[in-house]
Amino acid sequence: MASRSLSRLALVAAGTLLASLLGSSATAQPADTPVFWRVPATAAQAAALTNAGFDVEEGDAGSVYVVGGKAVAARLQGLGYRPSFYDTVYKELPAQANSLAADTFYGGYRTVTAHEAHLTSVAAAHPDLATKYTIGQSWKKQQGQGGHDIQAICLTKKQTGDCTLSTTSKKPKFFLMAQIHARELSTGELAWRWIDYLADGYATDATAKSILDTTEVWVVPISNPDGVDIVASGGNSPKLQRKNANNTRGGCSGTNIGIDLNRNSTFKWGGDSNSPCAETYQGASAGSEPEVKALETLARSIFPDQRGTGNNDPAPTSAKGTMITLHSYGNDIIIPWGFTQATSPNDAQYRKLGAKYAASNGYLVGTNEETVGYDTSGTTDDFTYGELGVASVTFEVGGSSGTCGGFLPRYTCVDSTFWPKNKGALITAAKAAAAPYQQ
Ligand SMILES: [Zn+2]
């Protein structure tokens, strides 16, 4: 559109009139609400769409789901694809959505600030159980543009040497991390409930007491705080930011900016997208992002290196430590490897451990190929397993459609569905930390 006509329009009216006049021809209209489009596509076509900056998700057989508004569907049609409506992205808000606390959004999801206050209050209320750590900074904080510290909490019934960022402290460790993909909203909430279950439950719940008497539980509830800020800035229409807020690469705009922090880890980095605006952009180099550095530094600070350097070197059966990274969606428990279709040298043990997790949440246990259907390099769980030998898996929380499906499930789904299903799996992970490969 010519700038001359734009300025003439701007003289006529601002706001809704301008928006309605521009409506059908512009490509990034706020009013063009994103939905999931089902798009028949081969794996090669899916990769091409990803690299072209489309927001491509795992689909059903022979298809992918592409997130976007009508303008995105029109672009897909222009490229010869046949998008059809699959499901909404935004779900119905709970009835009380307008009377929520200021530090929540989209029906109750907590902001980064709320998570930070939560960790502070848990540590203050339970000094015998909880220790809060700053493990690094977000990209924006590092740039002096606001941003956040990356925060962790360690929970255990403290004895001398416990929760001291030591690889040699006595208790085995379970590390839970969430919301490294900012828009995967349910995951940070699950981390919140897990922290409360342990800290508040210690006095009354025999299982919580048993876990904290024997285990260090480390939790990073918000692994990508800058990204979550962007998501929350949409309020009741959360923005679909997945990556971090690093906007220095590629001239990307909107929620296409950033580096995918779950493709930027240093173990086997380099097999994912080199297109800066792609949702799976891996960054310019391994571990380039401060959030990834923080997570890897934490992992190296609490887990000893228990595995050899070869792809086929198993973690020994005596290895300790469990790790779960929470993502959504798919109802999957994804076991290593991510970077290759080959199974890991601990495959049989992972399938046993995965089956125990699945006894609680009912998710499908398998490798990338067996679950989501695509390879991933530079993921956090490939790092903690490959580099350190920690028994590490990804949970993909929730299904692909319906009120409790997709990236933005209705907030009430957290307590009605996700937490009841996954509480037992997290308990299993904590109990397995002492001998995860001897299940
Ligand atoms: Zn994810």
- pLDDT tops 50 at residue 72: yes
- On whether both 191 and 81 belong to a single domain, the answer is no
Residue 254 CA to ligand 1 centre (angstroms): 19
Q: Which amino acid is located at 199 in the chain?
A: A
Peptide bond into 269 cis (omega under 30): no
Stretch (H or E) spanning 65: strand 63-68
The pLDDT assigned to 373 comes to: 82
Residue 74 CA to ligand 1 centre (angstroms): 26
Residue 439 counted as domain residue: no
Average pLDDT over residues 192-220: 98
Average pLDDT over residues 333-339: 97
Residue 17 CA to ligand 1 centre (angstroms): 38
- On whether both 27 and 150 belong to a single domain, the answer is no
The pLDDT assigned to 17 comes to: 34
Of 47, 63, 88, the residue that ends a domain is 88
Rounded distance between C-alpha atoms, residue 361 and residue 395, angstroms:
10
Residue 261 CA to ligand 1 centre (angstroms): 9
The pLDDT assigned to 122 comes to: 98
Q: Of the ranges 2-11, 211-220, 314-323, which one carries the lowest mean pLDDT score?
A: 2-11
Residue 11 CA to ligand 1 centre (angstroms): 44
Residue 120 counted as domain residue: yes
Q: Which CATH number do you get for residue 47?
A: 3.30.70
Q: Of the ranges 57-71, 173-187, 325-339, 411-425, which one carries the lowest mean pLDDT score?
A: 57-71
> pLDDT higher for 18 or 422?
422
Residue 111 CA to ligand 1 centre (angstroms): 18
- On whether both 317 and 340 belong to a single domain, the answer is yes
Residue 136 counted as domain residue: yes
- On whether both 37 and 164 belong to a single domain, the answer is no
Residue 241 counted as domain residue: yes
The pLDDT assigned to 19 comes to: 35
3-state secondary structure of 48: helix
Nearest-CA neighbor of 171 among 153, 157, 185?
157
Residue 437 counted as domain residue: no
Residue 380 CA to ligand 1 centre (angstroms): 11
Tens digits of residue pLDDT in 225-265: 999 999 999 999 999 999 999 999 999 999 999 999 999 99
Residue 327 CA to ligand 1 centre (angstroms): 4
Q: Of the ranges 78-87, 106-115, 368-377, which one carries the lowest mean pLDDT score?
A: 368-377
Average pLDDT over residues 95-120: 88
Residue 20 CA to ligand 1 centre (angstroms): 35
The pLDDT assigned to 101 comes to: 75
Residue 238 CA to ligand 1 centre (angstroms): 16
Residue 330 CA to ligand 1 centre (angstroms): 10
Residue 327 counted as domain residue: yes
State the residue range of the domain holding 37: 3-88
- On whether both 154 and 190 belong to a single domain, the answer is yes
Residue 406 CA to ligand 1 centre (angstroms): 11
Average pLDDT over residues 113-121: 98
Of 88, 123, 145, the residue that ends a domain is 88
- On whether both 108 and 71 belong to a single domain, the answer is no
Q: How confident is the model at residue 97 (pLDDT cuts 50, 70, 90)?
A: low
- pLDDT tops 70 at residue 22: no
Rg (CA), the chain: 22
Average pLDDT over residues 290-296: 98
Task: Give the rounded percent of residues in the chain with a pLDDT score beyond 70.
Answer: 92
Q: How confident is the model at residue 29 (pLDDT cuts 50, 70, 90)?
A: very low
- On whether both 367 and 403 belong to a single domain, the answer is yes
- On whether both 229 and 366 belong to a single domain, the answer is yes
Residue 401 counted as domain residue: yes
Q: List beta partners, residue 151.
A: 134
- pLDDT tops 60 at residue 24: no
Residue 12 CA to ligand 1 centre (angstroms): 44
- On whether both 74 and 107 belong to a single domain, the answer is no
The pLDDT assigned to 11 comes to: 31
Residue 328 CA to ligand 1 centre (angstroms): 6
The pLDDT assigned to 94 comes to: 80
Q: Quick one: 88 exposed, middle or buried, by C-beta within 10 A (0-12, 13-18, 19+)?
A: middle
- On whether both 199 and 56 belong to a single domain, the answer is no
The pLDDT assigned to 58 comes to: 85
Structure-token match 């398998």, residue found: 366
Rounded distance between C-alpha atoms, residue 382 and residue 22, angstroms:
46
> Mean pLDDT, the chain, as a whole number?
92
Q: How confident is the model at residue 68 (pLDDT cuts 50, 70, 90)?
A: very high
Residue 396 CA to ligand 1 centre (angstroms): 7
Residue 394 CA to ligand 1 centre (angstroms): 9
Residue 7 CA to ligand 1 centre (angstroms): 41
- pLDDT tops 50 at residue 392: yes
Average pLDDT over residues 195-208: 98
The pLDDT assigned to 8 comes to: 29
- On whether both 322 and 385 belong to a single domain, the answer is yes
Work out how many domains the chain is built from and give that number.
2
Tens digits of residue pLDDT in 345-377: 999 999 999 999 999 999 999 999 899 888 899
Of 88, 113, 135, the residue that ends a domain is 88
Residue 31 counted as domain residue: yes
Q: Which CATH number do you get for residue 112?
A: 3.40.630.10
Average pLDDT over residues 57-70: 92
Please, are residues 180 and 261 in contact by the beta-carbon 8 Å criterion? yes
Q: How confident is the model at residue 98 (pLDDT cuts 50, 70, 90)?
A: low
Q: How confident is the model at residue 9 (pLDDT cuts 50, 70, 90)?
A: very low
- On whether both 175 and 291 belong to a single domain, the answer is yes
- pLDDT tops 60 at residue 152: yes
Q: Which amino acid is located at 75 in the chain?
A: R
Residue 31 CA to ligand 1 centre (angstroms): 26
